[in-house]
């Protein structure tokens, strides 16, 4: 009888414990697609691991024709980040999210320089998945929550393939990952 009581108490504890895991751990992030092959925007990417921010970056000498300046914030899903820390390599289902934000200048007490204001202005996701040719694909989201894959002929693929420091990704611009890739020996020799 005492064993039975202990059994039920343990069963209750076990259930509570499992419930606790469910509550505290966000669901494992895996790329999701619609039935017609569009990618669904990962809904909680802002709670993923932050990699870096660029300001008005451009890979072309020509000035961009924009009436405003831009920040780009980069996030990666936590599982991929942890794998990279351990191996210097991106695992299957890695998702790198590039989020544009308008750069405001004067506002509140800010007198110089720029801060981020308002909603996102475009989101791009770079996904590692062996089902794609080359093993990676880009998706560009506008205001919607689904996006078609960017065709493989577009510049982003060839540029990332040619210049990405690690496996078509721009680890050369991610200050916390660059030393890891160097340490693990997974970086291109030119970096």
List 71's β-bridge partners, or say none.
55, 101
Query: For 103, how many CA atoms within 13 A lie in the half-sphere containing its CB?
Result: 17
What CA–CA distances, in Å, run from 58 to 42, 162, 167? 26, 16, 21
Candidate ranges 15-23, 30-38, 90-98, 134-142; the one touching a copy of itself (CB under 8 A): 15-23
Interaction of residue 22 with a copy of itself, rule CB under 8 A: no
Tell me if 122 contacts a copy of itself by CB under 8 A. no
Q: Which is nearer to a copy of itself, 11 or 30 (CB)?
A: 11
Q: Is the Cβ–Cβ distance between 171 and 90 less than 8 Å?
A: no
Are 75 and 97 spatial neighbours (Cβ–Cβ below 8 Å)? Answer: yes
Structure tokens at 53: 């921010």
14 or 30, CB closer to a copy of itself? 14
Minimum distance from residue 35 beta carbon to a copy of itself (Å): 31
Q: Which stretch binds a copy of itself (CB under 8 A): 30-38, 51-59, 138-146, 150-158?
A: 51-59
Q: Tell me which of 10, 30, 66, 161 binds a copy of itself, using CB under 8 A.
A: 10
Site for a copy of itself in 143-162 (CB under 8 A): 159
CA distance 160 to 90: 14
Rounded to whole angstroms, the Cα distance separating 187 from 191 reads 7
How many Cβ atoms sit within 10 Å of the Cβ of residue 18? 10
Under the binding rule (CB under 8 A), the answer on residue 4 touching a copy of itself is: yes
Strands 95-104 and 69-76: antiparallel
- Segment 52-81, which members bind a copy of itself (CB under 8 A)? 52-61, 63-64, 71, 73, 75, 78, 81
Tell me whether residue 93 is exposed, middle or buried, using C-beta atoms within 10 angstroms of its C-beta: 0 to 12, 13 to 18, 19 or more: middle
Q: How many residues bind a copy of itself (CB under 8 A)?
A: 59
**Binding residues vs a copy of itself (CB under 8 A):** 3-4, 6-7, 10-11, 13-14, 17-18, 20-21, 24-25, 46-47, 49-50, 52-61, 63-64, 71, 73, 75, 78, 81, 101, 103, 107-119, 159, 163, 165, 170, 172-173, 175-176, 191
């Amino acid at each position: 009888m005492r064993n039975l009581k202990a059994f039920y108490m343990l069963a209750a504890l076990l259930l509570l414990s499992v419930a606790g895991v469910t509550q505290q751990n966000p669901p494992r992030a895996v790329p999701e697609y619609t039935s017609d092959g569009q990618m669904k925007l990962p809904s909680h990417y802002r709670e993923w691991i932050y990699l870096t921010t660029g300001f008005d970056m451009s890979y072309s000498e020509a000035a961009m024709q924009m009436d405003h300046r831009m920040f780009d914030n980069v996030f990666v899903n936590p599982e991929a980040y942890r794998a990279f820390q351990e191996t210097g390599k991106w695992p299957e289902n890695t998702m790198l999210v590039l989020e544009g934000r308008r750069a405001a200048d004067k506002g509140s007490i800010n007198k110089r320089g720029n801060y981020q204001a308002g909603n996102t202005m475009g989101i791009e996701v770079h996904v590692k998945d062996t089902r794609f040719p080359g093993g990676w694909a880009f998706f560009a989201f506008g205001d919607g929550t689904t996006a078609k894959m960017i065709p493989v002929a577009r510049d982003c693929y060839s540029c990332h393939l040619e210049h990405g420091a690690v496996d078509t990704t721009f680890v050369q611009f991610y200050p916390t990952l660059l030393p890891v890739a160097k340490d693990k020996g997974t970086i291109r020799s030119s970096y």
